[in-house]
Amino acid sequence: MITELDTLRAYLLAKRETTEERPFGPDALVFKVVGKMFALVAWQASPLRISLKCEPHLAEMLRTTYAAVQPGYHMNKRHWNTVLLDGSIAEAEIKEMIDASYALVAKGLKKADRERLQP
């Protein structure tokens, strides 16, 4: 289940050119694509929380649809959501949110860096 840390980390790290760092201390795992953050996991929180970048209109829609989706914690609330991984959102939907965050950040990379992401 994506609500478990090992499964979540594996899904995030399987994305091309993704690295895991802890720039904000030991409690936050940051996942970056070519050096740009696309996910932040509060791994010691119960339930787990993941902050993901999102298009502003979609961010609002997700917040109204799911109680477990909140404005990004310590993030730009217009562009980031924090998702409580409490089991109330289907795994497929969470993966879609992660994929969208990755794609949104990747889209903003330099052309040479975007080309590194191609299979």
Query: CATH code at 53?
Result: 3.90.1150.30
Quote the number of domains for the chain: 1
Distance from the first to the final alpha carbon of the chain: 26
pTM over 0.75: yes
- pLDDT over 90 at 21, yes or no: yes
Using 50, 70 and 90 to split pLDDT, how confident is the model at 116? Answer: confident
**Residue 39 contacts residue 50 (beta carbons within 8 Å):** yes
- In angstroms, the CA 42 to CA 94 distance is 15
Tally of residues, the chain:
119
Identify the domain containing residue 71 by its residue range: 5-116
- Region for 71 from its dihedrals, namely left if φ exceeds 0, alpha if ψ lies in -120 to 50, beta otherwise: beta
91: left (phi over 0), alpha (psi -120 to 50) or beta: alpha
